[in-house]
Structure 1
Amino acid sequence: MFEALILGLVQGLTEFLPISSSAHLRILGEFLPNAADPGAAFTAITQLGTEAAVVVFFWRDIVRIIRQWFGALTGRVPRNDPDARMGWLIILGSIPIVVLGLLFQDQIETVFRSLYVVATMLIVFGIVLGLADWAGAKRRKLEDLTYPHGVYFGLAQSLALIPGVSRSGGTITMGLLLGYERAAAARYAFLLAIPAVFGSGFYQLFKSWGEPAVYGPLETAAATVVAFVVAILVIAFFMKWISRHSFLPFVIYRIALGTTVFVLLGTGVLEPF
């Protein structure tokens, strides 16, 4: 239970920062007494807690988007209504991760969880995030989001199927490359993650029911609750941070963590699997 609570704490702290929560759970699992990968199922289920925090934090936005989207379907709301349009953009942007998640499910649960892959992704996408933050125009607002850009965001989000990329990091990086403001890119990234994370989490919950796992149902549930509470605080902090600061501290941290993992692998302290 203690290990699960620690992992839940780390999940909540890292899910919405562009540093990859799945990478942190994968690495941290090696240093806990069980010395085992918590697994893709545990990661996906605890993400239900962090995504519930998004629903709470953006509750008014979500209710308004859903109401206007249904209104547009029935003709009570103009089809070009910004919130109705955002509903379609979230649906469109969610398609890539669903398709790729099903196609590469076996690799996601096996090959992609190699610590060599994790360390590489931390460094490579840390550098890409830094370059995007430095070179991006940061002029476009959320109202400027187009359907093609929604697809690009969705493709970037699907890269988070590989531990080390970061769901928020990948989508925010794409937003910066497309010229969106930091806050706009982050806001859409958080909203876009809702269908994907809930879908993945409940699918893994159903799939893993009754199967042996490193952590049982009670431990996983406790970790999910901890992740939820911590994530609400992190979202509030992060949205304020990016309105005034760059992503450089996160870039440096990613590169340092990835390099450390490579050193530990090279010295035999860690094993790839």
Structure 2
Amino acid sequence: MGIVQGLTEFLPISSTAHLRITPPLLGWDHGGGQAFETVIQMGTLVAVIWYFRADILHLLGGLKRDVQARKLASNHESKLAWMIAIATVPVGVCGLLLEHKIKNEFRDLRWVAFFIGFFALVLWAAEIYSHRKAKAGNPGKPESEIGFFNVITMGLFQCLALFPGASRSGTTISGALFSGLDRAAAARFSFLLSLPAITAAGLYKLYKDRHELFATQEGIINLVVSTVVSGIVGYFAIAWLIGFLKRYSTTVFIVYRILLAILLIVLVQQGIISPLEEPE
């Protein structure tokens, strides 16, 4: 589960969906549950922090200069930091409002298959839009030109990542492309935007479900091992994806998502796997 989380958190193919479908595909009774899946994202959070440590230090330095100047958004770095904070608010509100449905109804594999396929089409539409703009002489803005509109659009699209199968990186990259960023900037900033959301969700679940997560020594060991492994694998996934998107589009991920959605529907319809989650 740690390997699956690390590989799929940053690729636009949905870590939640893959964590949800891995147990039934491998014949396990369960994979740890939704709380377990949310908490092991903390490993990939550490991967993002370490990979983008220089960028994060620049953002923190900008906030420090705000304090010294006694003025908000007094420099480019602090402006980006405040924009990230503001863009995180929608996903926090939506997460609390939809928590029950996300934890129960939407984990049905029929819903997961639908979201995998639907958001593949959203990402495809974003790629077509970006490609047409590039052909018209507008290749997209680089990271240095990210503005409030870009970040807020990505923040709103990040709300869609709450649905199992949507993908946080996939939705935010889609929002970035629709808002006029190039692919490299879209990928890098989608990772930075994930920092507060993953942190808040992980800590919330860690506190709320602490009795369930730490009920047994085996459970604690599983949680720690999965989190560490997800962080190590996630670090290399980030590096690979950023390099990939500098040269290629997301077409391979779109095709993969569509094929996976079809496969899931077939497996469920044929009764090979149950659409409902086994009780823990």
TM-score, normalised to structure 2's length?
0.90
In the TM superposition, 1:9-28 aligns within 5 A as 9-28=3-22
Residue deviations 1:177-224, cap 9 Å, x none? 112100111111100100110111111111111227897121011001
Choose the corresponding residue for 2:49, options 47, 52, 55: 55
| Whole-angstrom CA distance in 1 between matches of 2:199 and 2:63 | 20
| Whole-angstrom CA distance in 1 between matches of 2:96 and 2:67 | 29
Structure 2 unmatched ranges of 5 or more: 134-138
Choose the corresponding residue for 2:96, options 91, 94, 102: 102
1:271 aligns with 2:271: no
| Whole-angstrom CA distance in 1 between matches of 2:2 and 2:219 | 14
Residue 34 of structure 1 aligns with which residue? 28
| Whole-angstrom CA distance in 2 between matches of 1:244 and 1:77 | 40
1:124 aligns with 2:134: no
**How far did 1:80 drift?**
4.5
Residue deviations 1:232-260, cap 9 Å, x none? 11111111000001111000000000110
Structure 1 unmatched ranges of 5 or more: 1-6
**Kept in 2: contact 1:25–1:38 (CA 8 A):** no
Residue 136 of structure 2 aligns with which residue? none
Residue deviations 1:55-87, cap 9 Å, x none? 000001001101112312331788352111110
Give the AA of the match of 1:254: R
Percent sequence identity is 37
| Whole-angstrom CA distance in 1 between matches of 2:193 and 2:140 | 20
Residue 64 of structure 1 aligns with which residue? 58
**Kept in 1: contact 2:149–2:179 (CA 8 A):** no
**Kept in 1: contact 2:65–2:74 (CA 8 A):** no
Choose the corresponding residue for 2:77, options 60, 83, 88: 83
Residue 115 of structure 1 aligns with which residue? 109
| Whole-angstrom CA distance in 1 between matches of 2:99 and 2:21 | 21
1:173 aligns with 2:174: yes
Give the AA of the match of 1:56: W
**How far did 1:125 drift?**
0.8
Residue deviations 1:133-175, cap 9 Å, x none? 1221341122333323322211111111111000000000011
**Kept in 1: contact 2:126–2:174 (CA 8 A):** yes
**Kept in 1: contact 2:5–2:41 (CA 8 A):** yes
TM-score, normalised to structure 1's length?
0.93
1:218 aligns with 2:221: yes
1:153 aligns with 2:147: no
Q: Aligned to 1:64, what secondary structure does the other structure show?
A: helix
**How far did 1:37 drift?**
5.0
Residue 202 of structure 1 aligns with which residue? 203
1:235 aligns with 2:238: yes
Give the AA of the match of 2:240: F
**Kept in 2: contact 1:68–1:77 (CA 8 A):** no
Spell out structure 1 runs of 4+ moving beyond 4 A. Answer: 212-215
